[in-house]
Structure 1
Amino acid sequence: MSRFQVKQVAVLGAGVMGAQIAAHLVNCKVPVILFDLPEDKPGAPDQSGIAQRAIANLKKLKPAPLGLTDEADLIEPANYAQHLERLRGCDLIIEAIAERMDWKRELYAKIAPFVAEGALLASNTSGLSIVALSDALPAQLRARFCGIHFFNPPRYMPLVELIATPATGPQVLDQLETFVTRVLGKSVVRAKDTPNFIANRIGIAGMLSTMQEAERYGLSFDVVDDLTGKRLGRASSGTFRTADVVGLDTMAHVIKTLQDTLSPATDPFYASFQTPEVLKALLELGHLGQKSKAGFFKKVGRDIHRFELASRDYVPCADGKGQKADEVYGRMLKKPAPERLKLLRNAEGPQGRFLWAILRNAFHYAALHLATIADCARDVDQAMRWGFGMQQGPFELWQEAGWLEVAQMVQADIDAGHALCRTPLPDWVFHGPVAERGGVHQPEGSWNPAEGRFQPRRELPVYERQIFRETLLGEGATRFESAGCTVFEDADIRLWTLEQPEQAGVLIASIKSKMHAIGPGVTEGLSRAVDLAESEYQGLVLWSGDEPFSVGADLQAVMPAFLAAGVSAIDDVEAELQRVMLKLRYAQVPVVAAVRGMALGGGCELLVHCAHRVVHLESYIGLVEVGVGLIPGAGGLTYIARRAAENARASTGTDLLPFLGEGFKAAAMASVGTSALESRKLGYLLPSDTIVAHKDELLYVAIVQAQALQRAGYRPPHKSLFPVAGRSAKATILGSLINMRDGGFISQHDFHIASLIANVLCGGEVEAGTLVNEEYLMQLERQAFCSLIEHPKTQARIMGMLQTGKPLRN
């Protein structure tokens, strides 16, 4: 069977979703054409102004839909009047126009003659019937049509729902799932063609339930958000802030879809789908949430105000940030699941009763609708994880808390009339395999009520690249912490290999410290890893399984050492860390960093000393030491100086200063690349490094890269001398810093730190072009680092960070 290749994509509709889907395609190096209506300029050579303005607007949006704003220009603008012929060159067409059935069907009739043979057509809709949409297509195109539902914002939200029609070809969803997973880095759930599919059906019903219960128990929006955010294992934005981010008009549309397509006969919860009065009021006032800068909340200066229905106006939140929940419920929510749910159900206060009510409603709704909206319980829980930022889906939490005991509590509330509807839980909840096994998720699969069996995971070749796929409670999959064969392990690091023969030849080093911070134990473990890899393995991969890659030096370990033994102890620690960084760089086998999440400070220094980097697209990389009053001390500045010399050597210029500018600015301002693409532009990644769209493919790709380098005859780089910019370049940088200090843009201590950075990058008091080695510059780093750690203002910054988690400016 020939492989389905996507060489070019067309996105139809340059609205908020369409333009951002196009942006993410560009992030993933997929050529894309963005279509919209023609401007009313008959005879104009190009009438694509609507699409052009949408592309330009992508550069202004926050959060940024583009990994690099400059790459907006890679999206080709087009319009339906002049450019439909371009569709013939597209392998995938994603329709993303407004949620109007008539408009979509009219557009399908217009584009159908131009869809290439073999190309797929998919509608990005949040809930319209895919079968009804397909009726507008010619018979030969229906087999290549399906629904595809990206969640907003498309770059950041993992979930994509795929929805087939009875006419959709059996291979179409497999092809699309493979592309969306591997190339776009998304996590796919296949949904049935029911109103709002899975995530929005469960999620919006849950948000409506939350709003109703909040009103019943008299809780303010800010208290509800505090209760329903991280404390409950959900997105930190809680309920009402999430609604503001999504857009209140979007939320109202999804609610209307429920109202228009369901009834009391098809959904027992139908009576609870009425649009809340507060939402009606906000919409009437034009307050649509974040997009209009006012919704349930509004920012006034630095303070947050919340909407008040009675006055139809905003009132200040407590402390300008929002009232917090009673801490007694915060403590309850930290208890193990069985104890937690019992405490909440028996709580007497309104906040506790509210929490139990929304959890009960979620269990009730998910159980009643599982058979109609999804193939199995796995799809529901994964959809809520990936689409609504929940740590656990409703079935996972229910199962962890004790399946039958929770079911009995929920049914008792239903019988007593406390629930939102009186329909009892389905029979399969209490009788049969689920009740007997204690939950819907088991090692052999997740419960499919329509077929009365535990349904295994769908296996596609693309998932062979995900060595440790995201799993659900009860599935019994081996986690990475205990997988494979351990070679060495202590409290700080684990050195291990996978068991598969084709991958066992690469040693994996997984840092175990909190936030994967680098202390003396980690340094020692990395040194041991290089020794083992050189003697027994084909390569070494630095991969710690979850986020972050590393937040850098372990400050909590550094300060006690300084207080006990003075600056000499710090000098010894830094010297050993620098030695290990060079040991990684000059190892006789390739060392590959597999980076996900934050790689800050020492974490950034760790990855730049590796032979190759495999980096998840959504990674955050930078040298941020100035935030705690320090400079990079483990070779980060040495790396910038060396790369500047290498780049200058490859150019026609002889002046090193222009090649140092970006690196100096990045280190002195603690600039962080907010995507792998941006980190490459900052110089922390090389053009040869590998950027991976899906986080769960990192380990596989890193091992393959290590093996490929070794098989190609890998040799470490030569230790060589390189020129530095010298005292004249340092004087130029200092002149700019003096202007910034005297102009009030930086503090005196910022000036002092930046001056030390300039001194290291330029090689100290030497002539321009002086040849140095890495050890020389690392010694300058170490001297500056140790002088700063003795400085009272740096000590204040370090203690401020340790106590508050926020940088102190002094």
Structure 2
Amino acid sequence: MPQKLLVHRAAVLGAGVMGAQIAAHLTNAGVDTVLFDLPAKDGPADGIVLKAIANLDKLSPAPLASKALAAAITPANYDTGLSLLQDCDLIIEAIAERMDWKQDLYRKIAPSVPPHAILASNTSGLGINALAGVLPEELKHRFCGVHFFNPPRYMHLAELIPAQTTDPAVLDALETFLTTQLGKGVVRAKDTPNFIGNRIGVFSILSVIHHTRAFGLGFDEVDALTGPLLGRPKSATYRTSDVVGLDTMAHVIKTMADTLPDDPWHRYFQSPDWLQALIAKGALGQKTGAGIFRKVGKDIMVLDLEKQDYRLADRGAAPEVVEILKLKDPAEKFARMRASAHPQARFLWACFRDLFHYSAYHLAAIADTARDVDQAIRWGYGWAQGPFETWQSAGWRQIATWIGEDIAADTAMSDAPLPAWVGAREGVHAAEGSYSPAKDALLPRSSLPVYRRQRFPDPMLGERFAPGETVFENDGLRMWHDGDDIAVVSFKTKMNTVSDAVLDGLQEAVGRAERDFAGMVIWQPKEPFSAGADLAGALGALQAGKLDLFEAMVANFQATSQRIKYSLVPVVAAVRGLALGGGCEFQMHSAKTVAHLESYIGLVEAGVGLLPAGGGLKELAVRASAAAGPGGDVFAELKKTFETVAMAKVSNSAANAKELGLLRAGDKIAFNAYELLHIAKVEARALAEGGYRPPLPARRIQVAGEVGIATFKMLLVNMLEGRFISDYDYEIAERIATVLCGGEVERGALVDEDWLIRLERKHFVELAQQDKTQARIAHMLKTGKPLRN
């Protein structure tokens, strides 16, 4: 099979929550997808699938990048729809975790699978070789495991598990497809129970459960300790279990108990009494409204094992333990943690110790390298560092000594010895690669061609990637290149906010790009793209009464946007994460935007009592005029984006940003965040090679004028009377309407960009002087939340 997998159509077998979400994400990626399930007993034969597709809209976070995509999924059932498989290039099975059910389904579909198609099981832990055993010989080499993590749109990890009969070329082709087309971080796992992510991740949860009881801690206390303080998600341990589903959790634990009888930690592979009791009562977590936690009114309650009842979840991390966890030096942090007499600190040391012990003991059996384990846990569980990275950063030898002492003292969960390789090394990650017990050597990253698209892959501990050659740098940004003809600009401010130094730097960078490069990309090494203007600096200038300084700053912002738009070389914005306010406006003025699917874009100034004034409203007016055409209905075009700006809407995906009018139809959506820079540079070079010229200045912009303003006011009055907006919201929105419509001029009047820019700046500066706006800005800076006044 060639390394390139051409997927014209895909099928997902099983319309449960996971199967439906996999189908949704394939559809997000533009793959024509058929979703199968059993025929319904009542109503239409495809009723089960139709219900599953309808249910996608109710799931949170949203599986679909746009609600409209639901209609693109084709429903089918196994009785009447198997002929649809004959057009499929990729078939993913995602039915319930029962070996016999999966094998029965394979026997049923095998005659309908075309001779070139790849068949993959999304099992979370069943044996891939055992599943392959029932397949006909001609299909065995095209079968493997591909385990997506839940929710599949958002979780970066996909584990790829070969059977002994899988053709290596099939794995390479599928890894390439998963990486670029679906945006996944692929880890190849061995065919062992629960593979890598759940083998290590579920053990970590089991060790937390064990030590919670051993140290007498509350579930809320443990979640306070095992969340962001450790660089892990806010849902921590027990809230995560509630989200996953306590029945699912118990099933995964049982799978470990049933399939790993010889594991030295086997006696811990059982659901505790309290978990079994909750399941028996139907308290399965978030999906049933109660589990370990439940919400009563506005209060979050937590199960208290001593009281055998729920109590208010109000126990947190002790101040002295927080102090330890906030230490910058990992070695000092772990030394203090282990030496502390506080039960919370002792609990944390015990959890880390047993996680490190388990990971090292099983590394050779479950993975090729320590990198695979760390990436699986980071990408599948959302940890900032994997277990081996955490151990190595805290001092490999010292931690190993302490683990050995605890094993000898019988305080560890198992008396299994640490592998000999642990004591022979100073760590498992280095610049040249990560440790492989099988090869007893450091192995580099995969050499598959797809990874050449990742200039800065997600780095492992000890990895450094050449930063490129600096062209120009100031306090706000750095301009650099890789020895090619495309320059890259990266901001240096907190949250990549737009400061005076960023504005001045961008104007300088565009000038240098015009002289010395074929194009320029604005790209940030980490999210967000930009959280917008530097509000603290703006508020300071206002409160100091420096109105001239403030107005000059706004004018400079607008000039920078225009400089980007009219650059003689193409400027491409590579957007990932938040692109708010000025960040949104910069990408609006670029020649093209390449946005990662998870881009949350919005003109949000109304939330702080302002209106967009980096050229955003001007640009929307220009686009509305162009879309309407000479003598056309400009107001109808403006209506599509007015509410987006007035209500400070933020897109929930790059696809949704197109629907909101914040991205253009021709802007690109990238699925792998680590390929974003590569794609943006390709787009910039393509524009340059195509003889790029900036747009001609817009001197004849048709506006909706005073009639448009009056019509928008009528819409706003209805919202005000319905108490959907406050009086001050009304004033802000009225000013937004005034700028979008070109001011108090006749309907259909022709204006130029300078007119709209001045209008934008006038209303922005007038709003900024209002006490209510300054209160909104101050409140946002203090709390991170909008104030409705």
TM-score (norm 2): 0.98
AA matched with 1:554: D
CA distance in 1: counterparts of 2:681 and 2:733, whole angstroms: 38
Which position in structure 1 is the counterpart of 2:691?
713
Give runs of aligned pairs for residues 162-177 of structure 1, distance below 5 A: 162-177=160-175
Matched, 1:532 2:512: yes
CA distance in 1: counterparts of 2:626 and 2:316, whole angstroms: 53
AA matched with 1:325: A
AA matched with 1:64: A
Which position in structure 2 is the counterpart of 1:338?
331
Q: 2:583 aligns to what SS in structure 1? A: helix
Matched, 1:742 2:721: yes
Question: Aligned-pair distance for 1:583?
Answer: 0.8
Which position in structure 2 is the counterpart of 1:291?
287
Deviates more, 1:304-313 or 1:733-742: 304-313
Give runs of aligned pairs for residues 193-342 of structure 1, distance below 5 A: 193-263=191-261, 266-318=262-314, 323-335=315-327, 336-342=329-335
Which position in structure 2 is the counterpart of 1:633?
613
Deviates more, 1:533-542 or 1:266-275: 266-275
CA distance in 1: counterparts of 2:301 and 2:640, whole angstroms: 40
Which position in structure 2 is the counterpart of 1:396?
389
Matched, 1:698 2:698: no
Which position in structure 1 is the counterpart of 2:457?
469
Matched, 1:733 2:712: yes
Which position in structure 2 is the counterpart of 1:494?
478
Which position in structure 2 is the counterpart of 1:599?
579
Matched, 1:478 2:465: yes
Which position in structure 2 is the counterpart of 1:542?
522
Q: 1:769 aligns with which of 736, 748, 765?
A: 748
AA matched with 1:417: D
Question: Aligned-pair distance for 1:312?
Answer: 4.7
Q: 2:598 aligns to what SS in structure 1? A: coil
Q: 1:65 aligns to what SS in structure 2? A: coil
Q: 1:408 aligns with which of 390, 401, 413?
A: 401
CA-to-partner distance for each residue in 1:231-251, whole Å, 9 max, x for gaps? Answer: 101112110111111111211
Which position in structure 2 is the counterpart of 1:619?
599
Question: Aligned-pair distance for 1:356?
Answer: 0.9
AA matched with 1:328: E
Q: 2:76 aligns to what SS in structure 1? A: strand
CA distance in 2: counterparts of 1:567 and 1:757, whole angstroms: 21
CA distance in 2: counterparts of 1:451 and 1:389, whole angstroms: 29
CA distance in 2: counterparts of 1:806 and 1:404, whole angstroms: 45
Question: Aligned-pair distance for 1:327?
Answer: 2.3
Question: Aligned-pair distance for 1:519?
Answer: 0.8
Contact 2:218/2:304 (CA < 8 Å) preserved in 1? no
Q: 2:530 aligns to what SS in structure 1? A: coil
AA matched with 1:93: I
Give runs of aligned pairs for residues 645-724 of structure 1, distance below 5 A: 645-649=625-629, 654-720=632-698, 721-724=700-703
CA-to-partner distance for each residue in 1:574-633, whole Å, 9 max, x for gaps? Answer: 001101101110110100000011001111011000000011001100011111111111
CA-to-partner distance for each residue in 1:73-98, whole Å, 9 max, x for gaps? Answer: 10000000001111111001000000
Q: 2:206 aligns to what SS in structure 1? A: helix
Which position in structure 1 is the counterpart of 2:497?
517
Which position in structure 1 is the counterpart of 2:590?
610
Q: 1:51 aligns to what SS in structure 2? A: helix
Which position in structure 2 is the counterpart of 1:37?
38
Matched, 1:446 2:434: yes
**Residue identity (%):** 53
AA matched with 2:29: C
Contact 1:128/1:196 (CA < 8 Å) preserved in 2? yes
CA distance in 2: counterparts of 1:107 and 1:610, whole angstroms: 51
Matched, 1:379 2:372: yes
Question: Aligned-pair distance for 1:310?
Answer: 4.7
CA distance in 2: counterparts of 1:784 and 1:289, whole angstroms: 50
Contact 1:159/1:188 (CA < 8 Å) preserved in 2? yes
CA distance in 2: counterparts of 1:194 and 1:372, whole angstroms: 8
Q: CA RMSD in A?
A: 1.3
Give the gaps of 5 or more residues in structure 2.
none
Q: 1:673 aligns to what SS in structure 2? A: coil
Question: Aligned-pair distance for 1:296?
Answer: 1.3
CA distance in 1: counterparts of 2:611 and 2:55, whole angstroms: 37
Question: Aligned-pair distance for 1:282?
Answer: 1.5
Which position in structure 1 is the counterpart of 2:185?
187
CA distance in 1: counterparts of 2:420 and 2:153, whole angstroms: 40
Q: 2:724 aligns to what SS in structure 1? A: coil
Question: Aligned-pair distance for 1:490?
Answer: 2.0
TM-score (norm 1): 0.96
CA distance in 1: counterparts of 2:545 and 2:773, whole angstroms: 18
CA distance in 1: counterparts of 2:319 and 2:714, whole angstroms: 52
Structure 1 segments of 4 or more deviating over 6 A? none
CA distance in 1: counterparts of 2:654 and 2:320, whole angstroms: 41
Matched, 1:427 2:441: no
Which position in structure 2 is the counterpart of 1:51?
49
Question: Aligned-pair distance for 1:364?
Answer: 0.7
Size of the aligned set, in residue pairs, is 786
AA matched with 1:84: L
CA-to-partner distance for each residue in 1:515-557, whole Å, 9 max, x for gaps? Answer: 0000100000000011001111100100011100000001111
AA matched with 1:408: T
CA distance in 1: counterparts of 2:20 and 2:171, whole angstroms: 23
Which position in structure 2 is the counterpart of 1:456?
444
Contact 2:618/2:740 (CA < 8 Å) preserved in 1? yes
CA distance in 1: counterparts of 2:223 and 2:757, whole angstroms: 48
AA matched with 2:322: G
Question: Aligned-pair distance for 1:295?
Answer: 1.6
Q: 2:64 aligns to what SS in structure 1? A: coil
AA matched with 1:780: L
CA distance in 2: counterparts of 1:144 and 1:597, whole angstroms: 36
Which position in structure 1 is the counterpart of 2:781?
802
CA distance in 1: counterparts of 2:487 and 2:441, whole angstroms: 40
Question: Aligned-pair distance for 1:215?
Answer: 1.6
CA distance in 1: counterparts of 2:128 and 2:288, whole angstroms: 31
Q: 1:356 aligns to what SS in structure 2? A: helix
CA distance in 2: counterparts of 1:699 and 1:645, whole angstroms: 32
Question: Aligned-pair distance for 1:788?
Answer: 1.5
Question: Aligned-pair distance for 1:141?
Answer: 0.8
Contact 1:281/1:309 (CA < 8 Å) preserved in 2? no
Question: Aligned-pair distance for 1:311?
Answer: 5.0
